[in-house]
Amino acid sequence: MSTELERTESARASATAPAGVDGIAVVARTQGQMVRRRFFRHRAAIAGMLTLAFVILLAYTSIGFGPVTGWWDKTYVSTGPVIDGGRPTLGLVPNFLGGDGIRLGEHPFGQDNVGKDYFALVMRGTQRSLVIAFLIGIVVTVVGTLVGAIAGFFRGRVEGVLMRLTDTMIAIPTLIFAAVLAAVARGTGNIIVLGIVLGLVTWTNLARLVRGEFLSLREKEFVESARAVGTSPWRIIHKHILPNTVSVITVTATLTVAAGILLETALSFLGLGVQPPDVSLGSLVSQYQTAFQSRPWLFWWPGLFIVAIALSVNFIGDGLRDAFDPRQTRVRA
């Protein structure tokens, strides 16, 4: 979604600041501050952040994780008697409008055919997806930036080798590659391994972009002057070039995370991702896809959560992209 015009320095200055020596005052602002201000103007990104925060909180506090217990009384493994055909007890229409009243009830998302509470199942699946998404984000950022930076900066044979590797990986369609590696990883049954593996499949896009940025930035004068003074390559990369690539890295990593969530759920759907008895939103959809006619809630809830998470992350990524791009202008007609 688009943003509004960013305020020009002089406009602000003449309006608010007292006259300086030459009659003109300048308000200094760091780039970080400007980016943050532009980001917070992006309504969709804010909505995305709020939604994501809500989902994370809900998933982790409701059923708890590890040693921490949540406020929801059921777990995702306990079965029970199937009440009312497993229909959801969530009510959103208030009493005075003729509905059941706003309430959570025993099973707000319903129950599956063996009586498991579906809310707990969906929460568990969301937790798993969030963990994997987080891992993908870290792996992609680290590996992609390293490979891209080294290739783009040092060039020569190092770049050649790294780029061949990257191109080879790009030649394999993502889902195929992920499927094969996930199949290898499912033997371990550990979702940390799965997260890392998926990250190792999706870093190539970021690496290419970072390399592109490094290629153009290393020709700039400030790098030449740093080199002329005798700065070590690592310091040049770290202090001079990398800060200028932050925008590309942040935006691309965020969008890759969104794609990663969809990738993980797709793999789980196919049986290659998160393995039973653990739960993933994708595996829930897979399990109950035939039940669509009779018990649609089994199908809707996990899908809605996938869409909510992916959409929020995509909006955040778009907000970041607009925030980092100073060329956005909008003239009020």
Interface with other proteins by CB under 8 A: which residues? 1-2, 4-5, 7-8, 10-11, 13-15, 19, 22-24, 44, 164, 167-177, 179-181, 183-184, 186-187, 258, 262, 265-266, 269-272, 282, 285-286, 289, 292-293, 299, 303, 306-307, 310-311, 314-315, 318, 330-333
Q: Which is nearer to other proteins, 233 or 296 (CB)?
A: 296
Short-list 94, 92, 91, 126, CA closest to 107 = 91
Q: Which is nearer to other proteins, 159 or 236 (CB)?
A: 159
Report yes or no: 297 and 88 within 8 Å, Cβ to Cβ: yes
Q: Which is nearer to other proteins, 222 or 292 (CB)?
A: 292
Q: Shortest gap between Cβ of 300 and other proteins (angstroms)?
A: 9
Report yes or no: 59 and 126 within 8 Å, Cβ to Cβ: yes
- AA letter at 254: T
Q: Shortest gap between Cβ of 1 and other proteins (angstroms)?
A: 6
Report yes or no: 194 and 182 within 8 Å, Cβ to Cβ: yes
CB atoms within 10 A of CB 237: 21
Phi and psi of 144, rounded to 5°?
Answer: -60, -45
CB atoms within 10 A of CB 247: 17
Q: Shortest gap between Cβ of 15 and other proteins (angstroms)?
A: 6
Q: Shortest gap between Cβ of 171 and other proteins (angstroms)?
A: 5
Cα separation, 207 vs 148, in Å, equals 4
What token pair was written down for 289?
Answer: 């896809």
Q: Which is nearer to other proteins, 150 or 266 (CB)?
A: 266
Q: Shortest gap between Cβ of 314 and other proteins (angstroms)?
A: 5
Q: Shortest gap between Cβ of 53 and other proteins (angstroms)?
A: 17
Q: Which is nearer to other proteins, 7 or 239 (CB)?
A: 7
Short-list 41, 2, 51, CA closest to 311 = 51
Would you call 272 helix, strand, or coil by DSSP? coil
Q: Which is nearer to other proteins, 209 or 242 (CB)?
A: 209
Would you call 117 helix, strand, or coil by DSSP? strand
